[in-house]
Chain A
Amino acid sequence: MAPLLLEIGKRFEADHPGTRIDVQTGGSSRGIADTNKGLADIGMASRALTPRENNLHGSVVAQDGIGIIIHKSNPIRELGIDQIQDIYTGRITNWQEVGGPTAPITVVNKAQGRSTLELFLQFFQLSTRDIHAHVVIGDNEQGIKTVAGNPHAIGYVSIGTAQFNAVQGLPIRLLPLQNIPASLETVRTGIFPLSRPLTLVTKSPPTGLTKTFIQFAQSSHVHDLILSQYFVPLQD
């Protein structure tokens, strides 16, 4: 989410001389913690606010979907929710058990604290202790490179990044979820089940310059920036 806000900030600075938008990265937990402490005027969270965070005010600027990816050479075309749960908890360890080739599954998981992991766990009703991973990755790119380099790997990354890399020719395939294809279109229309809102967080309902900036980030002036980062803008 930070690269997007960096670009939006630059454009906002150009349109509003004299303002400076300082963007710092560190994940949703930090975005929310820094907003709570007053260290930041606006926090970034790539998820919806939880009921425990209802003291804060969130404004959605775009949508992002999380897609399950496998290697392109893998003949699997769809996995059910329970199959994915079983693979990630180590009850299924060979592709053969889900109708694929006889090969051990390499499970790629995200490091703790990342909102992608939190959203994934929440959707599949898993806890970090249940997961039996073979590879733990930091960012989406590392996840995509890992799956592209291992014909028997399974991972989950941001759909925008995965679709971009697949178009660029990397040997990865996005799997549909509950019969809904993982694509920017299904995320945009809100029918893809595993998606997340990219949220700007403030301590109170935004006013003044903060309000101007958030409205700018939600406006159609920045849709090209959102699309260029492979996220999905709000519907007009």
Chain B
Amino acid sequence: MAWGAASLLLFIIGFVVLESWPALSHIGLWRLFLDAGWFPTEQSYQLTPMVTGTMFAAIGSIFLAAPLGILSAVFCHFYAPPILGLWFRRMVEILAGIPSVVFGFWGLVVLVPPIAAWHPPGPSLLAGILILTLMILPTIMLIAHSSISQVPTSYIQSATALGLSRSAVIWRIILPVSRRGLLTGTFLGLARALGETMAILMVCGNVVQHPSHLFDPIRTLTANIALEMAYAVDHHRSALFLSGLILMMLVMAVVILAEAFHQKTPYAAAK
């Protein structure tokens, strides 16, 4: 099974490299960053606005989703009555299962119009960050919850025996001890935010530009591929595969980072 999955991954990477080869050899990597703009039908292939768009949307959503997710995990585990905590967790699990196109549609008809009324045009980096936050919140919260519930009970008992208050136990013991788990969740959330396509495509406006503020529309690498792939031929198509390759390497780097944090669990020795 593991070998099957691994070879499938290699096959996909091989395929994407093969498809992006014409772009790499004819357009070259540097033109993706130095051309006049992204006008693929006129042989101009600058991708940087989409790289920054992807980064801004993903990192912005992490800044919202990581504290929210970790705090709701703490709330669920330590403050909420057991029944409420359980229901809250179930609801977040359901949130994790909502298809991204549903998030996108919801965003387009519910989230974008008020933003448009507040500060036109509406579809914007802000809308993208908010949608992504909702989408990655479950990942971060559930992983945070499972890692704080793995903190050995003896730690909490000793701390309580020393007369520490509940908030001191949480802030000084639980969160520092489980920080690697929290970071892993955050990185996995980041990886999902980088790769998210459909919802982003519907709420971000998809204009190829470097955003100067939160209300500017942006286009992410994934949205670019989804918008144009079906209609692209020749070098345009290959350039889209190349942008997919860049994105894939970015996501792999994030996942490897997440794994690196996960492997060294400090309290493993205490069990």
User: Given the known A-B contacts A113-B41, A137-B206, are A146 and B123 also in contact in the complex, defined by CB atoms under 8 Å?
Assistant: yes
A136 touches B231 (CB 8 A): no
The residues of B that contact A136 with a CB separation of less than 8 Å are 205-208, 217, 219, 227
Q: Which of A25, A133, A150 contacts B207 (CB 8 A)?
A: A133
User: Among residues 149 to 197 in chain A, which have CB atoms less than 8 Å away from a CB atom of chain B?
Assistant: 149-153
Q: How far is the CB of A121 from chain B (nearest CB, A)?
A: 10
The residues of A that contact B230 with a CB separation of less than 8 Å are 25-27, 30, 113
Q: Does B211 contact A (CB under 8 A)?
A: no
Q: Which of A27, A33, A135 contacts B121 (CB 8 A)?
A: A135
Q: Does B122 contact A (CB under 8 A)?
A: yes
Q: How far is the CB of A165 from chain B (nearest CB, A)?
A: 13
The bracket for how many chain B residues form the interface is 20 to 34
Residue of A nearest to B227 (CB): A111
B39 touches A135 (CB 8 A): no
Give Cα distance in the complex from A114 to B231, angstroms.
7
Q: Which of B109, B205, B208 contacts A149 (CB 8 A)?
A: B109
> B8-16, B23-31, B112-120, B160-168: which one contacts chain A?
B112-120
User: Among residues 106 to 150 in chain A, which have CB atoms less than 8 Å away from a CB atom of chain B?
Assistant: 106-107, 111-114, 127-129, 133-138, 142, 145-146, 149-150
A150 touches B121 (CB 8 A): yes
Q: Does B22 contact A (CB under 8 A)?
A: no
Give Cα distance in the complex from A136 to B216, angstroms.
12
Q: Does B108 contact A (CB under 8 A)?
A: yes
B201 touches A150 (CB 8 A): no
Q: How far is the CB of B151 from chain A (nearest CB, A)?
A: 46
Give Cα distance in the complex from A142 to B231, angstroms.
17
Provide 16 A-B residue pairs closer than 8 Å at the C-beta atoms, listed in order of the A residue.
A30-B230, A104-B120, A107-B121, A112-B39, A113-B236, A128-B41, A135-B122, A135-B205, A137-B206, A145-B108, A146-B108, A146-B123, A149-B112, A149-B116, A150-B113, A151-B117
Known interface pairs A106-B122, A149-B108; 16 further A-B residue pairs with C-beta atoms within 8 A, sorted by A's residue number: A27-B231, A33-B233, A103-B120, A104-B120, A111-B227, A127-B42, A136-B205, A136-B208, A142-B202, A145-B108, A146-B123, A149-B112, A150-B122, A151-B116, A151-B117, A153-B121
